[in-house]
Amino acid sequence: MTESRLQRSILIVDDEWDSNIVRSVRKRLDDEGWRTRVVVPFDFIVSGDDFEAEALYAIEEERPDGVVLDVRFGEHGADRFKGLSILQKIVEQHPQLPVLMFTQYVQGPDRETAVRGTLKWDAQVDFIDKLASPEEVVMRLRRLMGTTPDTIRLGSKISIDTANEVVYVHDSGTPTPISELHGLRFDILQELASTWYRSPGELVPFAKLMRYTEGEDPRASIRVRIREIKVAVGKAMGVRFGAGDLIINIRDRGYRLVPPE
């Protein structure tokens, strides 16, 4: 893992910072190489205002790449939607900072209040149920932030070094580069892998892949390159990929990456 990847960080602002939910999300982020910091006010008895002050200070000091922010802070009526007040301050001061909101108001009568609070801001803000799985939380962060790591792992046997443009197969823990995957072949695989990383199952349309084509028939060129990628990876792994393996053609729409198990 490269130094630039380790420098990326997520700030978590939640009055239940020591709950199983927050600990599970932190572990998942840590496993993927993110550095996490949880805002914890110093006083024993705190209010939503204390969390707001600490969160804004932490953002100024640490410049995180993203924020996970709870909507509700405590049981006091004034703190019921305190997270939205904190969000407004973040957006005003750091309009490009992605913020994923933890909320228990995904459904029910208070949902409109929670969502309406962000409609006035043109910002990178998304809401997720606080009971969602850590995997879902991290996936939504990926999509919201639009970032990919320096190394993308595709299952247990393939990795893509995006910084050095090398694809590896891991056999018995030893990475072996696939020399055939360079140039346009690497670019296409990286595009597919980056999309999968940010949003597993998402399709990459033909229009997005056409910039990696040559000749008068772009779709035919893409088809040839995809076949070459599957043959090269399959050869390195000692398997033969069929039409429904690794990279799948979605008729008249584009391609979808499916990492091998």
Distance in angstroms (rounded) separating the CA atoms of residues 184 and 215:
13
Q: Is residue 72 pLDDT above 80, yes or no?
A: yes
Q: What is the token pair recorded at 210? A: 């056409």
What pLDDT does 123 receive?
A: 66
Q: Which is nearest to 66 in space by CA: 141, 150, 143, 149?
A: 141
Q: What is the token pair recorded at 239? A: 């398997």
Q: What is the token pair recorded at 163? A: 């910084």
Q: Report strand pairing: 151-154 vs 158-161.
A: antiparallel
The answer to whether 103 touches 72, Cβ cutoff 8 Å, is yes
How confident is residue 6, by pLDDT bands cut at 50, 70 and 90? very low
Distance in angstroms (rounded) separating the CA atoms of residues 52 and 90:
9
Distance in angstroms (rounded) separating the CA atoms of residues 165 and 154:
15
| pLDDT > 70 fraction of the chain, expressed in percent and rounded | 86
What is the tens place of the pLDDT at every residue in 124-165? 888 888 888 998 898 888 888 877 777 888 888 899 998 899
Q: What is the token pair recorded at 46? A: 């705190």
What is the tens place of the pLDDT at every residue in 12-51? 999 888 889 999 999 988 887 788 999 987 765 567 788 8
Residue 154 has phi, psi (to 5 degrees) of: -110, 95
pTM of the model: 0.63
What is the tens place of the pLDDT at every residue in 84-122? 889 888 988 888 899 998 887 545 444 455 455 554 555
How many C-beta atoms surround the C-beta of residue 84 within 10 A? 19
The beta-strand segments (E) located in the chain are: 9-13, 35-38, 66-70, 99-103, 125-129, 151-154, 158-161, 166-171, 174-177, 204-205, 246-250, 254-258
Q: Report strand pairing: 174-177 vs 204-205.
A: unpaired
Residue 76: DSSP 8-state: S
DSSP string, 173-219: TEEEE-TT--THHHHHHHHHHHHHHHSTT--EEHHHHGGG--SS-HH
Q: What is the token pair recorded at 165? A: 């443009």
The answer to whether 12 touches 26, Cβ cutoff 8 Å, is yes
Distance in angstroms (rounded) separating the CA atoms of residues 185 and 220:
14
251: which residues sit within 8 A by CB, 6+ positions away? Answer: none
The answer to whether 145 touches 99, Cβ cutoff 8 Å, is no
